[in-house]
Amino acid sequence: MKATVNSEYPKSENIGSDLKRIQEVLEFKKSLYGEILQQSGLAWKVFGFPIEETWIYAIKQWLFGLAFHCSAMMNNELNKYDQLFSVDDTKIAELMDNVRMCIKITSQIIQLIGSPNNKLTLSSIVLATSYINWGLSQIDKIENKARSAEVRLMHICDNINHILHHLRIIQDVDGQDSYMVYNHGDNQGLFSQFELQQNLKITENFSGSLVEAGLRLCEHITKPKINSVTGPANFLYMYSEFVVKFVNRVIEYSGMEQLVEQRMRPLIKSLRNMEAALPAV
């Protein structure tokens, strides 16, 4: 433990290499500690091993720091580009892969520690929003190409699904839905008014982008060219099933209660339009 808390976080000129190194370090820590940190060393105490609470706390803080380091590196990388979507497609795709990896690393760290962190949750939501917005920009490009458009759309949204899975772990690792903590009136003492407004803006931007992704998937299937796509005879229904599952996940992240109905109404309408556009079996 002493060696860990005294070690520096990976940092070089290549964020991709740094993230891979962080992933390797994290995998080693997971194999080393298992559920020990979640239980604050309880399993070791049962076997009579001498445990210093200060070192358990220190290693948790080091891991939290690793997650913050990862998030800060990723945000710095994103901030290098004023117009994110004007960057070379290959470069931006690589950047978005790093965003996904960063969110995954954060979820693994939170799971290893066993307790969420408000700031890490918010920073992960910001990164997730960046990925979803990039995905929306890719949908515009994909829809102009008839061949395999649906497969590419499904690939992007499947990646978003994985991101949502990791976000759920980051937010809800201890059974508490941290997503709602930012917007709950009883918790105003935890944040300044400015912070509450910033947190609200972050979560609303995220929810809006997520709903837009669901809308675009639904709307795509109603376009005439969908019927000309080559593939298995039941592909249209496979795509529809994927869309419904994705929309179901979107609803989980619909945001503040008073805005849910307003935001969900066009999405539900698009689902109905999609159903109506399907040919009879």
Q: Is residue 229 a part of any domain in this protein?
A: yes
Q: Is residue 127 a part of any domain in this protein?
A: no
Q: Are residues 169 and 276 in the same domain?
A: yes
pTM for the full model? 0.79
Question: Are residues 114 and 36 in contact, defined by beta-carbon separation less than 8 angstroms?
Answer: no
Question: Are residues 58 and 5 in contact, defined by beta-carbon separation less than 8 angstroms?
Answer: yes
Could you tell me which of 105, 153, 109, 102 has the C-alpha nearest to residue 127? Answer: 102
Q: Are residues 179 and 94 in the same domain?
A: no
Domain end position, chosen among 115, 134, 158 = 115
Q: Are residues 268 and 170 in the same domain?
A: yes
**Which pLDDT score is estimated for 68?**
95
Report how far residue 251's alpha carbon sits from residue 164's, in angstroms, rounded to the nearest whole number. 11
Q: How many C-beta atoms surround the C-beta of residue 230 within 10 A?
A: 8
The DSSP secondary-structure symbol of 279 reads: P
**Which pLDDT score is estimated for 216?**
81
Give residue 234's domain range.
146-281
Q: How many domains does the chain fold into? A: 2
Q: Are residues 101 and 156 in the same domain?
A: no
**Which pLDDT score is estimated for 103?**
97
Could you tell me which of 136, 9, 6 has the C-alpha nearest to residue 65? Answer: 9
From first to last of the 281 residues of the chain, give the pLDDT tens digit.
556 666 788 888 899 999 999 999 888 888 877 666 765 665 555 556 666 667 777 888 889 999 999 999 999 988 887 555 566 778 888 999 999 999 999 999 998 888 888 899 999 999 999 999 988 888 777 766 655 677 788 888 889 999 999 998 998 764 444 444 444 444 444 567 777 788 888 888 888 888 888 888 777 766 655 544 445 556 777 777 788 888 777 777 655 455 555 666 776 677 677 666 666 54
Q: Are residues 105 and 179 in the same domain?
A: no
**Which pLDDT score is estimated for 186?**
43
**Which pLDDT score is estimated for 38?**
66
Question: What are the DSSP calls for 95-158, one per residue?
Answer: HHHHHHHHHHHHHHHHHHHTS--HHHHHHHHHHHHHHHHHHHHHHHHHTT--TTHHHHHHHHHH
Q: Is residue 42 a part of any domain in this protein?
A: yes
**Which pLDDT score is estimated for 98?**
95
Q: Are residues 158 and 102 in the same domain?
A: no
Q: Is residue 55 a part of any domain in this protein?
A: yes
Question: Which tokens is 230 given?
Answer: 């080559």
Report how far residue 199's alpha carbon sits from residue 125's, in angstroms, rounded to the nearest whole number. 10
